[in-house]
Amino acid sequence: MISVNGLSKHYRIASREPGLTGAVKGLFSREYTIKRAVDDISFRIEQGEMVGYIGANGAGKSTTIKMLCGILTPSSGEVTVNGLVPYRDRKRNASQIGAVFGQRSQLFWDIAVRESYELLKHIYEIPEREFKETIAMFAEVLQLEPLMGMAARQLSLGQKMRCELAAAFLHNPSIVYLDEPTIGLDVAVKARIREFIKEMNRLRETTVILTTHDMQDIEEICKRILIIDEGKVLYDGSIQSIKDRFGHKRVVHFELEAEGGFAFELPEPLIGLAESAVGEEGRVSLTFSNQAVTAADVISAMMQSYRVRDLTIADPTIESIVQELYERGI
């Protein structure tokens, strides 16, 4: 569905000396620096995949997505989306994609949401029957009915995002790009949005590319992630295998007998191997690398020093792994 080969985008940024002198000099001579926003990346995405595209701010995510959408022309390299070169065939490409960009809206500000959908129906030439069925289905899954008569400007953030999602999927696009679709939303709305995306993918085999800072979005929606850093692909693979390769950290939460005051000290055999965090009422969490010490050894050392009432072993989250990848590199 998507094929990207040696793709780069370099921005030319006019550099200017500070102050008035700099501004005046800048009128006569310009010096430029080159920003390699996307730097020789390659990947392929098959139809029906849902891929998380993640990276720190400024990593190059939006620039990549804009090239996939045809908004930006690459500096070099190749990109095809469902057989089209997006920046050459912008119009045809636009008819096969849907997109939700954080701050941008495709709803018309001042008219009822229902009317916006009517307009999109005409723009994308959606047959009336298909349109009616789609709207009915979306209204149910995203609970849009009470919002249909409201103008976009009257909607709360969560309401607006639900309406935006419906707009992006309305014309049954082959690919949908979602740039931070759940940012700032409460838990219930996030859950509904994730359900909707998964449902669309299941029913229509929509290919989804998702950028988000919410790792729970990623874990629930995507099997595969691409991690991008300074314009380069750091990692491309399944979430499971990144956990297997990099998820050495384990956390065990203990609940200890703590009557009559309680001062926790790390048992002798674990010193230097585990870090402790002490909570209230005898709760202690130990963090360690499973390459340095096994969970079994940690637990048995704790049981020899304390009366353990309960314990749970936590799986490393993709969030903690990605954090570490950013900090230390691959």
Ligand X SMILES: Nc1ncnc2c1ncn2[C@@H]1O[C@H](COP(=O)(O)OP(=O)(O)O)[C@@H](O)[C@H]1O
The contact set with ligand X (CB under 6 A) reads 11, 13, 35, 37, 55, 57-63
The nearer residue to ligand X, 49 or 229, going by C-beta atoms, is: 229
- The verdict on 63 binding Mg ion (CB under 5 A) reads no
The nearer residue to ligand X, 58 or 184, going by C-beta atoms, is: 58
Q: To the nearest whole angstrom, how small is the minimum distance from the Cβ of residue 19 to ligand X?
A: 22
C-alpha span between 267 and 115 (Å, rounded): 67
Q: Are 293 and 226 in contact, with CB atoms under 8 Å apart?
A: no
Radius of gyration of the chain (CA): 25
Near Mg ion by CB under 5 A: residue from 8, 62, 182, 206: 62
298 binds, among ligand X, Mg ion, none (CB under 5 to 8 A by kind): none
The nearer residue to ligand X, 30 or 202, going by C-beta atoms, is: 30
The nearer residue to ligand X, 49 or 179, going by C-beta atoms, is: 179
C-alpha span between 161 and 270 (Å, rounded): 48
How many CB atoms within 10 Å of residue 64?
A: 29
Query: Which residue type occupies 97?
Result: I
The nearer residue to Mg ion, 62 or 206, going by C-beta atoms, is: 62
Q: To the nearest whole angstrom, how small is the minimum distance from the Cβ of residue 147 to ligand X?
A: 29
C-alpha span between 45 and 99 (Å, rounded): 17
How many CB atoms within 10 Å of residue 72?
A: 19
Q: To the nearest whole angstrom, how small is the minimum distance from the Cβ of residue 30 to ligand X?
A: 14
- Closest of 171, 175, 165 to residue 144, by C-alpha: 165
Among all chains, which residue has been given the structure tokens 């940024």?
13
Q: To the nearest whole angstrom, how small is the minimum distance from the Cβ of residue 75 to ligand X?
A: 12
Please give the residue ranges that form the binding site for Mg ion (CB under 5 A). 61-62
